[in-house]
Amino acid sequence: MADIKGVSPTAPIVTNEKGGKQSQTAYGFHLIDADAILSLAEVLQYGASRYERDNWRRIPAEEHFNHMMIHYYAWAKGDTTDDHLGHFFCRAMMLYATGKAEEKEKQNELNTLEKII
């Protein structure tokens, strides 16, 4: 099971202006733009129906980066044939997730090699 940063019984306690105490958090979900998240979810739903659910997880991070940049430059050039910013944001999320998975996979391979050597 993965540890979530700042979510544990040992997290520091903070007190708000009314004297309410709670665990300090490393996350600011209240700061996320609702329209951006809705756009992300819309693009993900479109991709799931067009390709299949979680198909993007089988695509390397480098390819997500390339497609992300294609959408950026299409938007920057004024192309309005697609929601390029929505697709850019979605590909950025995919790049992050697959990039982290690839880092973890490489680290696991190194750990395995160290055990063999």
Report pLDDT for 111.
84
- pLDDT block averages, 10 residues each, the chain of length 117: 80 95 92 98 98 98 98 98 98 98 92 80
End-to-end CA gap in the chain: 28
Separation CA 27–CA 88 (nearest Å)? 23
Report pLDDT for 82.
97
Buried b (16+ CB within 10 A) or exposed e, 87-111: bbbbbbbbbeebeeeeeeeeeeeee
Report pLDDT for 70.
98
pTM here? 0.83
